[in-house]
Amino acid sequence: MDLEEQYDRLYRYCYFKVRQRETAEDITQEAFLRFLESSHYVNTGKAMQYLYTIARHLCVDESRRRRTDVLDEEAADEGACTEDRLLTGISVRAALAKLEETDRELLLLRYVNEVPVSVIAGLIGISRFAAYRRISQAAKRLREQLGKEDIS
């Protein structure tokens, strides 16, 4: 596992969850620190799953601490970084906002961060087949939302 590449991907994941650049950076650093301190996972096949699990828990803790909706549109617009604007167009962002949080998370992990389906399955506690199916259904719902916007 290339740690530098995973660092950038994990940062995007954290930014997606908390929508604040500095907070996402802090969570990413804390996740890597905890990951590297627990060396028993570093050399297993589940290292990436463990890393994302740590980050996910830290993001949940942060959202509880702030007591705000982590996907608030105003916060997303104010704190959006250049990279985020390049990755998603306005129509895609609007379509994603209409999806459930679990669908958005699955799509981000699989298609933006390129996390293997087996890791995603372990992360959310389902079989690999079920993960493939849920990702496929989420992508279908996103396409439907994009189709609705083209018509409107």
Cβ 28 vs Cβ 11: under 8 Å = yes
Structural domain including 134 reads 91-152
CA dihedral 96, 70, 80, 23 (to 10 degrees): -140
Residue 11: the pLDDT is 93
- Per-residue pLDDT tens over the stretch 27-74: 999 999 999 888 776 666 788 888 999 999 999 888 878 764 434 444
Same domain, 16 and 72: yes
Residue where one domain finishes, among candidates 66, 87, 108? 87
Residue 74: the pLDDT is 45
How many structural domains comprise the chain?
2
Residue 68: the pLDDT is 45
Token code pair at residue 142: 């996103």
Gap between the Cα atoms of 40 and 104, Å rounded:
31
Of 96 and 88, the one with more pLDDT: 96
Token code pair at residue 65: 């601490």
Residue 27: the pLDDT is 94
> Interhelix angle for 47-66 vs 21-37, to 10°?
140
Residue 37: the pLDDT is 86
User: Which of 110, 102, 114 is closest to 141 using CA atoms?
Assistant: 102
Residue 96 has pLDDT above 60, yes or no: yes
Q: How far is CA 73 from the centre of its chain?
A: 16
Of 22 and 86, the one with more pLDDT: 22
Q: What is the mean pLDDT of the chain?
A: 80
Residue 84 has pLDDT above 80, yes or no: no
Same domain, 37 and 112: no
Residue 21 has pLDDT above 90, yes or no: yes
User: Which of 107, 88, 5 is closest to 51 using CA atoms?
Assistant: 5
Residue where one domain finishes, among candidates 71, 87, 103? 87
User: Which of 150, 122, 112, 151 is closest to 139 using CA atoms?
Assistant: 112
Contacts of 88 (CB under 8 A, 6+ apart): 96
Residue 24 has pLDDT above 90, yes or no: yes
